Structure 1
Amino acid sequence: MLQATDQPLQAVSAPRRPLRGLDLFPGSLANKVYLSLKDAILTLTFRPGEILRKPEICSELGVSRSPVAEAVARLAAEGLVDVVPQAGTFVARFSMDEIREGAFLREALELAAVEQVATTITEDQLVLLRRNLRVQEALVQDGDTEGFYELDGQMHELMLSFTGFRRLALLAETTWVHVNRARRLILPAPGRVAATLAEHQAMVAALEARDPALARAATRYHLRQLITFLEPLADARPDLFRQG
């Protein structure tokens, strides 16, 4: 079972796990390095405010400085790292303004999507969602927060894909990038994973009922829980959040 804790930032304070191997990622060497570093930032393997030591990254991934420098430039363009002249490269701290903006944009996209999907969803598509939920339930029972996080993302991607719009999931992911990283802070909070599962079940039930209004309401409630949890966290842990 999930272990209750008064410290929702366990993932942030834990010793750093190794970077994921480049063979797990597609594309050129530079793209593989970029995806490995981005994965480490989004999963809080690299913590907000932490300095990125390029020689250590080169050694760990077994690459030269060139692909690492290219990867860092891409991450800086996405706002995931801050390059400070004469000081170094740092993992960007969280910004509540960016999180609120990302959550606003994602909500607009996802509410429009579920409202449409509620009127067009097929039985085969519902089967995919139900299967996903069953795995989520097993992961909650096993206390596997990381696995649950992955299935959570897959469920949302499925719902977006059911609109038939090929670029929608990518657009939603782009708007969600800062929110996605911040979500890692709250999933370990006591009861949050089980509550998230219940919210997912309500969303799927609304789609099963083919009720657009109910699907919008269930999805809106689910998406807004993130801000509800993060607002007090920003006050409690100013070291993780950008001020001003």
Structure 2
Amino acid sequence: MDVQLRLRDPIAPQLVTILRQAIIVSEIRPGEALSEKEIAGRFGVSRQPVREAFIKLSEAGLVQILPSRGTYVMKISLREVANARFVREAVECALARAASKLIDPNGVALLRRLIAEQSAAAGRSDYTRFTMLDEAFHQAIAEIVDCDYAGKVVESARAQTDRVRYLSLPGTSPIPLLITQHNAIVDALESGDPDMAATAMRIHLREILNALPRIAAEHPELFEDEEMPAHTKALRQR
């Protein structure tokens, strides 16, 4: 967590962003304890904004606060990942439909640039940067539609799915495939075809279903021992 805080800005939201990213990329591992004192000392702040950040991370399902025992990073929940993906598909396919009617050349250029930066990050094996650019890509589509609430729902759901996405790189979910899927989304948006845009987004967001069982088998110590919810089982049986 080699990041400096902007002391003129609210501290707690910055800590949420920093700690969230550290959890997503497994810099802070599932089951690991988080110390208010240590984090406050690391960033040169009081314990209050650290405590506020822990509460926000708890609400996102990333940490568990146990009174008198401490705060711990939660293991990855198969059910929560599957449920978050289900919500992302519903919201982001709707966003893709709307964006196909609203996107302009500047929006297309921005999305193409983000994909190019993803390719460059992959070439450096910088999977943390790749993941951040993936988030920026999906957020840019939400911003084209100008629906702040949808963007917040997607951001919340990503807290679960991105933990698995990072573990899946580069092997289980091949990066060239993910980049190809992003290009297909932009092609569909640029064409102005809402059905094509929604289909391209759906294919992309369901890719995690192929990776999830294998990742859980490879890293059993990071996952809760749970069954998939019915909606995900139905998709995998097709």
What TM-score, normalized to structure 2? 0.84
Matching of residue 231 in structure 1 with residue 231 in structure 2: no
Is the CA contact 1:161–1:168 (under 8 Å) kept in the aligned structure 2? Answer: no
**AA aligned opposite 1:21:** Q
- The answer as to whether partners of 2:121 and 2:130 remain within 8 angstroms in 1 is yes
Three-state SS of the structure 2 residue aligned to 1:90 is strand
Aligned to 1:132: 114
Distance 1:30 1:131 in 2: 31
Asked if the contact 2:64/2:73 (under 8 Å) is kept, the reply is: yes
1:107 Cα deviation (Å)? Answer: 0.5
Superposition RMSD in Å: 2.2
Deviation at 1:230, TM superposition (A): 1.3
Q: Select which of 185, 204, 207 maps to 2:186.
A: 204
Q: 1:142 to 1:30 in 2, by over 3 A?
A: closer
Give the secondary-structure state (helix, strand or coil) at the position aligned to 1:22.
coil
Match of 2:104 among 122, 126, 136: 122
Query: What is the CA-CA distance between 1:19 and the residue it aligns to?
Result: 4.7
Match of 1:68 among 25, 32, 50: 50
Change (3 A) 1:35 1:154: closer
Unaligned runs of 5+ in 2: 227-238
Distance, in Å, in 2 between the alignment partners of 1:128 and 1:227 is: 28
Tell me the amino acid that sits aligned with residue 133 of structure 1: I
Q: What fraction of aligned residue pairs are identical, expressed as a percent?
A: 32
Is the CA contact (8 Å cut-off) linking 2:127 and 2:166 kept in structure 1? Answer: no
Distance change >3 Å, CA 83–CA 231, structure 1 → 2 = same
Q: 2:173 touches 2:207 (CA, 8 Å); kept in 1? A: no
2:56 partner letter: R
Question: What is residue 156 of structure 1 aligned with on the other side?
Answer: 138
Asked if structure 2 preserves the Cα contact closer than 8 Å seen for 1:26 and 1:32, the reply is: no
For residues 35 and 217 of structure 1, the distance between their equivalents in structure 2, rounded to whole angstroms, comes to: 31
C-alpha displacement of 1:191: 6.4
Cα distance, 1:222 vs structure 2: 0.7
Farther-moved stretch of structure 1 (26-35 vs 225-234): 26-35
Contact 1:51 1:89 in 2 (8 A): yes
Distance 1:194 1:26 in 2: 40
Q: State whether structure 2 residue 124 is matched by structure 1 residue 142.
A: yes
CA deviation vs aligned residue, 1:69-121 (integer Å, no higher than 9, x gap): 23222322322111234543210110011111110001101111112222332
> For residues 11 and 98 of structure 2, what CA distance do their matches in structure 1 show?
40
Letter in 1 for 2:128: E
Match of 1:21 in 2: 4
| Distance in 2 between residues matched to 1:240 and 1:110, nearest whole Å | 27
The residue type paired with residue 207 of structure 2 is Q
Report deviation, 1:240: 0.4
Three-state SS of the structure 1 residue aligned to 2:26 is coil
Larger CA deviation: 219-228 vs 234-243: 234-243
| Range with greater deviation from structure 2 (197-206 or 91-100) | 197-206
Q: CA deviation at 1:186?
A: 0.9
State which of 182, 185, 190 in structure 1 corresponds to 2:164: 182
Measured in 1, the distance between the counterparts of 2:11 and 2:103 equals: 40
Does the Cα contact within 8 Å between 1:21 and 1:36 map onto a contact in 2?
no
Partner Cα distance (1:101, 1:183) in 2: 15
Counterpart of 2:5, as a letter, is: L
CA distance in 1, matches of 2:130, 2:60: 26
CA shift for structure 1 position 237: 2.0
Alpha-carbon distance in 2 for matches of 1:137, 1:219:
19
Letter in 2 for 1:67: P
Q: Residue 180 of structure 1 aligns to a residue in which SS? A: helix
Quick one: structure 1 residues 120 and 63, their matched pair in 2 at CA, closer, same or farther if it must change by over 3 Å? Answer: closer
Matched positions, count = 226
After TM superposition, the score normalised by the length of structure 1 is: 0.82
